[in-house]
Amino acid sequence: MRSFCLFSLVLVFFSGCRDVVEDKFAGFELKPVVNSILIAGEKPRVHISFTANVSDGNIRFVEDAAVVLQDNLGNTDYLNYVGNGFYVGSLEIVESSIYTCHISVPGYDDIVAVDTIPEQQKVLSLEHINASGVNNEGEIYPAIQVTFSNNIHKRLYFEVAIKLLKYGEISSAALEEIVDPIIINEGLPIPVFSNKLMDSETASITLNYTTNTSNAQAMLLFPVVVELRTISGSYYEYLRSRYIYELGRYPDGLNATGNAHSLYTNVRKGYGIFGSYSTFTCDTLYPNGKN
């Protein structure tokens, strides 16, 4: 509504113009880009590509890299190229292990990336609140309340994925009005947080969410699958930086910050993210009943 008002003023009085400023950019040194999100219990997948110039049409995949994954127990996995930049291994990722990934791309410096797979934290209870509040469109929105185990002696990071089973398809739900102090303290409207403010072995978080579908006065409710991910510190930093990056990259009119923000990387001598998480998936919730 605020954006609408501001844009009304702008449109009425000072219609904006968009013009091309530059379409040729200085060359950019090519470097390998390594991306991988290791998930406990699954096999490793690493995506390797090159950087590109801003004006390039395509971003090239690296198809001839040597990718080796080692854990702190001495296990070694040689990953094979399967196409579209993906390299796949055969060893199962294990919680609490430290993984080091060595990548050799011919003609470039060797790349090393390290991450520790976090220990899975369990969901102790999950509650669905059908009417949690009203948004500024006048729609009643729902919420979930997740109670989970915590380790107060260790810095832990979490991500809650709320998935809706809408009309036979799975889609992610975004957060609505944020009221939980943990998320407010984190500052970003994404369900990614640390246990910095949690002082007991169990913690609880309430997340209002939107289904993006409503009748005149309330959002329509759908079956919900909630996944609690215990994520690594690197992945936590990446998720936060990605949100801030997108705020600047795709500004929401005059209200957005529009400031360019670089993405977090823990890949030495290259770009990308080497992160990980352990996940706990809850039983499906049926806000309207199973039928």
51-80: contacts with other proteins (CB under 8 A): 51-59
In the complex with other proteins, the residue whose CB is nearer, 54 or 72, is 54
The CA distances from residue 131 to 141, 193, 213, 232, in Å, are 6, 24, 14, 33
Give the C-alpha separation, 37 to 34, whole Å. 10
Residue 117 Cβ vs other proteins, minimum distance, rounded to whole Å? 17
In the complex with other proteins, the residue whose CB is nearer, 12 or 73, is 12
Q: Answer yes or no whether residue 188 interacts with other proteins by CB under 8 A.
A: yes
Q: Answer yes or no whether residue 33 interacts with other proteins by CB under 8 A.
A: yes
In the complex with other proteins, the residue whose CB is nearer, 50 or 222, is 50
Do residues 218 and 139 make contact, with C-beta atoms less than 8 angstroms apart? yes
Compute how many residues bind other proteins; rule: CB under 8 A: 84
Q: Answer yes or no whether residue 21 interacts with other proteins by CB under 8 A.
A: yes
144: number of Cβ within 10 Å: 23
CA nearest to 276, candidates 68, 86, 118, 161: 118
Binder among 109, 155, 179, 284 for other proteins (CB under 8 A): 179
In the complex with other proteins, the residue whose CB is nearer, 124 or 174, is 174
Q: Answer yes or no whether residue 245 interacts with other proteins by CB under 8 A.
A: yes
Give the C-alpha separation, 166 to 139, whole Å. 18
Scanning residues 135 to 154, which ones bind other proteins (CB under 8 A)? 136-138
The CA distances from residue 271 to 36, 61, 99, 113, 115, in Å, are 11, 14, 18, 10, 15
The torsion defined by the Cα of 98, 266, 105 and 246, in degrees rounded to 10, comes to 130
Q: How many CA atoms lie within 13 A of 206 on its CB side?
A: 15
Radius of gyration of the chain (CA): 22
Q: Answer yes or no whether residue 161 interacts with other proteins by CB under 8 A.
A: yes
Binder among 75, 96, 258, 288 for other proteins (CB under 8 A): 258
Which range, of 17-25, 63-71, 89-97, 106-114, touches other proteins by CB under 8 A?
A: 17-25
Scanning residues 217 to 236, which ones bind other proteins (CB under 8 A)? 217
Binder among 66, 95, 123, 133 for other proteins (CB under 8 A): 133
Write the binding mask 88 to 127 for other proteins: x where contact by CB under 8 A, - elsewhere.
----------------------------------------
CA nearest to 272, candidates 49, 59, 78: 49
Give the C-alpha separation, 279 to 37, whole Å. 12
